[in-house]
Chain A
Amino acid sequence: MLKIKNINTYYGQVHALKNVSLHVNAGEIVSLIGANGAGKTTILNSLSAITPPRDGEVLFEGVSLGNLSPDRIVEMGISQVPEGRQVFKDFSVADNLELGAYLRFRGREGRAVIKNDIEDMFTLFPQLATRRKQMAGTLSGGEQQMLAIGRALMAKPKLLLLDEPSMGLAPLVVQEIFRVITALREERGTSVLLVEQNAKAALKIADRGYVLETGKVILEEKASELLENKDVQRAYLGREKKEIWER
C-alpha cells in the first residue's frame, strides 16, 4: 500500500533522514521505534508533506506522492494524528470532529453522511459522546488523544499516521488507545504507521517494526522478533538494564 524508497529529509542543514526505505502493507500495523531524534516523527512529517523529503520516492497505492501538498495527501487517504494531540482547544468535541472532515465538504457527499460519521466516532469512543458539546481544551489527556484520532478518521483515511499516541497518558488510558488502534485495523482494515516511545506496547500490537538510529533504518523485523532483540530491549524497552550495567 505504502512504499518509500530512499527518502532524504533535511531541517535546514541537518540531514534528518538518510536513505530511508520502508513499506506498509494493506491492513498492517507497522511500528517505528528509536531514540529521541532518530527520525521517527520526521518520517511521518515527510509522508504528510509537512517537511517534504528532498529526494527519494513515496508511492501510495502505486501513485507517487512527490510534490503533493498536505491537503492532497489527506485526500489520497493518509491522515496524521500529530504528536501532543493538537486538538482545537476552543472548539467543541463535535466541531473538532467535523473539522476533520474539512476536505470532504468539497466533495459531493451530503452533510448527512458526515454527520453520520461523527456519530460513528462517538460509537468508537463512547467517552467522547457524553462530552460532545464540551470544549476540547477541557478534556483529559486520554480524551484529547481519542478526539485527535477521531478527527483524523473523519477524513476516511486508508493509512493512519500516529505520532506518540501514548505520550503522557496513564497506563489504563494507553491500553484503551491501543485497543482502539487494533480495533480500527480489525474492523475497518485501516493500516497504521505508529511512532511510539512506548516501544513495548507498540510492538505488542504491531505486525512489523523498523528500528531507527540517527536518521537511518538499522533493523526491519517482525514485531515479535524485535521484542526478542537484545539491542532493542536494552535501548528501547528498558529491560535487563540492571544486569547489563551492573556487570
Chain B
Amino acid sequence: MKIWDPLYECMLREDLEQLQLERLQATLNRAYKSVACYKKKFDQAGINPEEIRSLDDLAQLPFTTKEDLRLNYPYGMFAVPLREVVRIHSSSGTTGKPTVVGYTKNDIHTWSNLVARFMTAAGVTHDDVVQIAFGYGMFTGAFGLHYGSETIGASVIPMGAGNTEKQIMIMQDYKSTVLVSTPSYAITIASRMEQLGIDPKSLSLKVGLFGAEPWSEGMRKEIESRLFISATDNYGLSEIIGPGVAGECEFKCGMHLSEDAFIAEIIDPDTGTVLPRGSIGELVLTTLTKEAFPMIRYRTRDITSLDYEKCACGRTMVRMKKTMGRSDDMLIIKGVNVFPSQIEEILFAVEGCEPHYQIVVEREGEMDILEVHIEVTENIFFDEMKKQKGFVELVEKKIHSALGVGASVKLVEPASLPRHEGKAVRVIDNRKL
C-alpha cells in the first residue's frame, strides 16, 4: 500500500534521531524566547535550553499540563503574534475553561500532511469519497480529516456530526467510501441501519477512520462485521495538533506516531519518571514542527505503550498501542486501578453484548461499589429469567477475574442509556472523593 511521505515515514532511526534533536533544539530556543510560560518554567527549574544536547536530556525539562494552558487562557502559550495565526481552535473543554490553540499557515500545511499520512496508511486514496461525521466548529477532528482528505485529493463530504438518518441517506446516495467518526457513532449508524432495514453491503463504504475516544479491539470487530469495512484507529489531541499524531497502517498493529513531528515519551503518571521502552504509562508529547503553538512535554493523560519493533508496512515510525484509558479517568476501586476500556474489552468478549454500557461507581460507607449497566438487545433480553441471570453472572465473573475487583452487572432497557454524538460518557463516579 502507498506511503504518503516515505522520506520521513521510513527514515532510519539514526537519521530520525538527528532530525529530532535539531528540531527539538530549535523548538526549545524559540519557545524559551517567545513564550513567557516556558521561560518561567525553565528558569524555575534552573534549565537553560542550551543545555539540552541529546534526546535523553529532554527528561530534564518540566512538563506542560492542561492547567498551564488554562492559566494562560486564551493566547498566553502562543509563540507567534496573533497576526501570524490563521486559525484558532479549542479543546472540547469537558472540564472547566476550554484551552485555546493556534496555527500558522505552515502549521495548517504540516497538519494536513500528517493527517494525509495516516489516511493513506488506512487505505484512503484520491479516488475515495470521505464522509466526515465529526462536528466542525471549534473541535479539531473534522478539520484535520477534512484537510487530510483534500491533501490526498479525495472528495470530502463535510457532513458534520449527528442526524444519523441523513448520514445514512448521504452514505447511500453520494456513495461514500470512507466514514470518519467516533467509533461509538459508527455503532449508532450500524444500529440505525438495521432498524431501517438497510443492508450495509449495499453501501460503498470500505474504510472507517475512527478516533476522538478510546475503543477496544472488540469494538473494532463489531464495527467491521456490522458495516463491512476496515475499521482503523487514529490518535491526536488539539493541544498537540489535532488528529495526525498517530494512525494505523493496514496491519493494524498499533498507530504509527509521526516522530519527525513529535517526540513521544512514556512516563509513570504518579512520579513523572520516564519509563523504559515498551512500558505502559502516560504518553507525553513534545512538538517539533509547530510554529504558533509549540508544546514541550505535554502530559496527554492518555495511557498507552510504544512498540519500536519494525512494522511489516515499511514505516519506521514507532507504533503506539490503542489508548487504554486516561490517567485522569482511571478509576481506583478498592485500591485497584481500573480503566473503563478493560471493562469494555470484557463486554465485547462476552457474546451477544451490545456496546452501550455505563460504569457507575458509588461509595457506601467506606466501600466502593462498581456497577456496570448494560443495555440489552433482543439477543440477550431472554424470556427466561434463568438465562438472563446466567449472562449477568458470566459478565460479573469475567470482570472479577480480569480486574481483581468485583462489579455488579445490571441489565437495562434498550436505548435507556444516554446517547452522545460526540464523545461517549462511559463513567459516572458518584463518590465524593
Closest to B52 in A: A19
A218 at the interface (CB under 8 A from B): yes
A75 at the interface (CB under 8 A from B): no
Closest to A22 in B: B22
A104 at the interface (CB under 8 A from B): no
Please report the C-alpha to C-alpha distance between residue A221 and residue B19 in the assembled complex, in whole angstroms. 11
Please report the C-alpha to C-alpha distance between residue A218 and residue B34 in the assembled complex, in whole angstroms. 11
A6 at the interface (CB under 8 A from B): yes
Q: Find out whether the CB atom of A225 lies under 8 angstroms from the CB atom of B106.
A: yes
A72 at the interface (CB under 8 A from B): no
Question: What's the least CB distance linking B214 to chain A, in Å?
Answer: 33
Choose from B23, B26, B104 the contact partner of A229 (Cβ within 8 Å).
B104
Chain B residues in 8 Å Cβ range of A18: 50
Chain B residues in 8 Å Cβ range of A228: 105-106, 109
Q: Find out whether the CB atom of A229 lies under 8 angstroms from the CB atom of B291.
A: yes
Closest to A5 in B: B21
Binding site for B on A (CB under 8 A): 3, 5-6, 18-19, 21-23, 210-211, 213, 216-221, 225, 228-231
Q: Find out whether the CB atom of A221 lies under 8 angstroms from the CB atom of B289.
A: yes
Q: Find out whether the CB atom of A230 lies under 8 angstroms from the CB atom of B22.
A: no
Please report the C-alpha to C-alpha distance between residue A210 and residue B18 in the assembled complex, in whole angstroms. 14
Chain B residues in 8 Å Cβ range of A6: 53-54
Q: Find out whether the CB atom of B22 lies under 8 angstroms from the CB atom of A23.
A: yes
Please report the C-alpha to C-alpha distance between residue A87 and residue B26 in the assembled complex, in whole angstroms. 36
Known: A19-B50, A230-B84. A217 touches B29 (CB 8 A): yes
Chain A residues in 8 Å Cβ range of B105: 228
Chain B residues in 8 Å Cβ range of A211: 26
Chain A residues in 8 Å Cβ range of B23: 220
Q: Find out whether the CB atom of A230 lies under 8 angstroms from the CB atom of B80.
A: yes
Please report the C-alpha to C-alpha distance between residue A3 and residue B106 in the assembled complex, in whole angstroms. 26
Question: What's the least CB distance linking B381 to chain A, in Å?
Answer: 58
Q: Find out whether the CB atom of B109 lies under 8 angstroms from the CB atom of A21.
A: no
Q: Find out whether the CB atom of A19 lies under 8 angstroms from the CB atom of B53.
A: yes
Q: Find out whether the CB atom of B26 lies under 8 angstroms from the CB atom of A218.
A: yes
Closest to B107 in A: A225
Choose from A218, A225, A231 the contact partner of B84 (Cβ within 8 Å).
A231
Chain A residues in 8 Å Cβ range of B104: 229-230
Closest to A215 in B: B50
Chain B residues in 8 Å Cβ range of A21: 18, 21-22, 25
Q: Find out whether the CB atom of A220 lies under 8 angstroms from the CB atom of B18.
A: no
Q: Find out whether the CB atom of A3 lies under 8 angstroms from the CB atom of B26.
A: no
Interface string of B63-93 (1 = CB under 8 A from A): 0000000000000000010011000000000
Chain B residues in 8 Å Cβ range of A225: 106, 109-110
Chain A residues in 8 Å Cβ range of B21: 5, 21
Please report the C-alpha to C-alpha distance between residue A3 and residue B19 in the assembled complex, in whole angstroms. 10
Question: What's the least CB distance linking A10 to chain B, in Å?
Answer: 14
Q: List 16 A-B contacts (CB under 8 A).
A: A5-B21, A19-B25, A19-B50, A19-B53, A21-B22, A22-B22, A216-B29, A216-B50, A219-B26, A225-B106, A225-B109, A229-B104, A229-B291, A230-B80, A230-B83, A231-B84
Q: Find out whether the CB atom of B50 lies under 8 angstroms from the CB atom of A220.
A: no
Choose from B18, B26, B291 the contact partner of A217 (Cβ within 8 Å).
B26
**What are the 7 closest A-B residue pairs judged by CB atoms, nearest first?**
A230-B84, A6-B53, A21-B22, A216-B29, A217-B26, A218-B29, A225-B106
Please report the C-alpha to C-alpha distance between residue A213 and residue B26 in the assembled complex, in whole angstroms. 10
Closest to A244 in B: B83
CB-contacts of B127-156 with A (<8 A): none
Known: A218-B26, A218-B33, A230-B84. A3 touches B18 (CB 8 A): yes
B426 at the interface (CB under 8 A from A): no
B30 at the interface (CB under 8 A from A): yes
Please report the C-alpha to C-alpha distance between residue A221 and residue B109 in the assembled complex, in whole angstroms. 12
Interface string of B5-30 (1 = CB under 8 A from A): 00000000001001101110110011
Q: Which of A6, A19, A228, A229 has the most CB atoms of chain B within a 10 A radius of its CB?
A: A19
Q: Find out whether the CB atom of A23 lies under 8 angstroms from the CB atom of B53.
A: no
